[in-house]
Amino acid sequence: MIRKAVLPVAGFGTRCLPASKAIPKEMITVVDRPVIQYVVEEAVAAGIRDIVLVTSNSKSAIENHFDTHAELEASLEAKGKETLLQSIRDIVPDDVNIISVRQGEPLGLGHAVLCARPVIGDDAPFAVLLPDVLVDNGSDRPAGCDLSGMLASYAQTREAQLMVEEVDWQHVERYGIVAPADEAPEAGSAADLAGMVEKPAREAAPSNLAVIGRYALPGSIFPLLAETPPGAGDEIQLTDAIEALRARRGVQAYRMEGLTYDCGQPLGYLEATLAFGRRHATLGKDFRSLMSRYRMPEDPACGS
Ligand code: G1P
């Protein structure tokens, strides 16, 4: 059973400027909590208990968010603000550990994951969750169920798993793209891969199934990462190390059932805000009525 996860949060977040100038992009709010909290909640809901944040020197706000704030707690307690107190105490369940390691230089996603090697070790399998992407399992399915499904698939097959979804062909060059060995997997199931490539040109893409940033990997990925040379964008790519792993022991794509929002860019935050806001337990009703005031496609203020 996979109980450990690596969350790489060291990047600059240039696609979110100016919002991400002085705060990490992972701390930008979606409805009532920072985007990173959704990702941690997804991991915890799927059974993860040790979360390794790979941070950099400008990311201490993330570590603080998951730490106890004794002064604030004492103040809320003294004022009898129980609901607010509980909301900050519940950010991390008692049986979950948040550990952070530093990535001193921005050498790529593969390098960021490699920075977690001393904490994870080469023997245990682990998950990787990229916090740019929010996974929405909808209101009818349990939180974190796509991730649970993928981790269960790893437990069954012992093969590395990459969560994928179909994207528009015109967007394949933004993602790692997989080549199914045979049939593409059905939603909620996994299939063997014949290869994968990081950010291919549209003509070179083997499919339009994109890696969305959820991985289940064996510890044996670490020695492969350590010898992976810089690839696309002159960065050490996780995709390249996984391709080397595939050649040795097979890798599968797990096709998700839910939706994703790319919170590495502003429109993704807006979409996530609409999706999570309208079904929020306390704010949802008012938010829906607020939204109804903005259903004015011919509003001249909206431009064309
Ligand atoms: C990373 C991965 C890529 C994946 C993407 C998902 O790219 O390298 O394979 O498809 O995340 O968001 P990045 O967006 O960090 O450039």
Domain positions in the chain are 4-295
- What pLDDT, on a 0 to 100 scale, did the predictor assign at position 39? 97
pLDDT of residue 297: 64
Pocket test for ligand 1, best of 16, 35, 129, 130 (most atoms within 8 A of CB): 130
In short, whether 269's Cβ falls inside 6 Å of ligand 1 is no
- Summarised one tens digit per residue, pLDDT across range 147-182 is 999 999 999 999 999 999 999 999 999 999 999 999
Query: In the chain, which residues have pLDDT < 50?
Result: 304
- Ligand 1, from 109, 172, 243: best to mutate by most atoms within 8 Å of Cβ? 109
Distance 182 CA to ligand 1 centre (A): 24
pLDDT value for 295:
78
d(CA 232, CA 211): 15
pLDDT of residue 232: 87
Euclidean distance between CA atoms 116 and 290, whole angstroms: 44
Ligand 1 atom closest to 238 (CA): 8
User: Is there a contact between 7 and 41 (Cβ–Cβ < 8 Å)?
Assistant: no
CA 146 to chain centre: 12
- Measure the CA–CA gap between 134 and 144, rounded to whole angstroms: 11
- Give CA–CA dist 185/207, Å, rounded: 12
Which pLDDT score, from 0 to 100, does residue 38 have?
97
pLDDT of residue 296: 64
- The rounded distance, in Å, linking the Cα atoms of 278 and 269 is 14
Scanning the structure block, which residue is given the tokens 């979110």? 16
Does residue 133's CB lie within 6 angstroms of at least one atom of ligand 1?
Answer: yes
How is domain 4-295 classified at the architecture level of CATH?
Answer: Alpha-Beta Complex (3.90)
Query: Does an H or E element contain 76, and which?
Result: helix 70-78
Gap from CA of 176 to ligand 1 centroid (Å): 6
With a CB cutoff of 8 Å and minimum separation 6, the contacts of 148 are 45, 46, 47, 142
The minimum-distance atom of ligand 1 relative to the CA of 133 is 12
